[in-house]
Structure formats: C-alpha cells, structure tokens
Amino acid sequence: MIKLAVSTLMFGLICACSGLGLGSASANSQDDIADVQQLANAYLAAVEAMDWARMEELLSPDAVFEDQTAEYFGEPWRYIGAKAIVNFYREGAIDTLSTRYHFVKQYTAGTQSINVIEVSVEVRAGIIGFPQETIKDTTDLVTVLTVKNGRVVRHSDYADYAGMWNKLEGHKRRLQSVQ
C-alpha cells in the first residue's frame, strides 16, 4: 500500500513538472551539462593533484567552500573567496604525500555537479604522533560543485569524519604496538 502511494506521488510530481515545462530537456541542454561536468572534472583534478594555481584559476573570485559535516570537529567549515579556499586546502594538505580519487558516481543536475568519491591518501602520521611514519587509507566523500559562467562558485563537501577518526585511531594503535 505504501509502495503504491509513493509511486502515485512520484508519477503525479513528474506529470506536474512536465506540464510546467520543468521536465523537458530544454531546461539544460546536453552541451550545458557537459560544460558543467567538464569544468567540475578539471577542478577536482586540480584538487586531487594539489595544483593550487589551477584550482584557484577555476574558482570564482567570490566562491564559497563549506563542509557542514566538519561540525564533528566543533563547527562547520566555511571559506569565502578563491584565495581563502585554496589556502585552506594548501594548509590542510601540508602532510599529504599523495591523493587519488576514484569516482563511484557522478552526475550533473542543472549547474550542479554531484560527485561520490572514494579518496585514497598517503599522509605523514604526525597528526597521531608519528611524524616519521606514513599511513595510507581511504574514505568516502560527497562533493557538490556549483558551476556558473565557467567557474566553480560553490564547493560543498560531506564526509564521514567519525569514520576517518576511527581509522586514525586504528593506525595509532598499530604504530604504538610496533615500537
């Protein structure tokens, strides 16, 4: 019964949107969608490669970065302006030796590029008290980019910081046990 009600509701919404012209392909042409995804891919490649100059070039001067899930560390992160965003990334990557993105899923909706990414990193273990050691790990990340006028105007990240912290604690216990 619930399944039928949800299906009926979805069908009604689709019909209503189509009647308003919201369901038509003309809302965003295939070229517009390709342009958004192409720019998003170039930007994410710059972040992955830690190419700060290229990253800044692809950001709008008044771009906004936010990560509401960073409240795990006390409060959400929010940076305004290309330079502030690049500085945040540069400073955060100081102990990062390499980063690799594996795109689990990508799609474009209007001016939004939605990216589900498995991130693999190799970092110096100074954050857990072992600066002479390196650790490798992966985590899942959802990145939503808004692209307008050929630039990224908004970058929103969503991450499982509790899971990442648990992994770091596991690395710490492992490194302590071999000393």
pTM above 0.85, yes or no: no
Mean of the pLDDT values across residues 168-172? Answer: 75
Mean pLDDT of the chain: 83
Confidence of residue 17 (pLDDT cuts 50, 70, 90): very low
Q: Is the pLDDT of residue 143 over 70?
A: yes
Domain 28-177 - what CATH class? alpha beta
Please state, in angstroms and rounded to a whole number, the distance separating the CA atoms of residues 35 and 26: 15
Sequence-ordered strand ranges (E) for the chain: 59-67, 77-80, 96-109, 112-125, 130-148, 151-159
Confidence of residue 22 (pLDDT cuts 50, 70, 90): very low
So where are the chain's domains?
Answer: 28-177
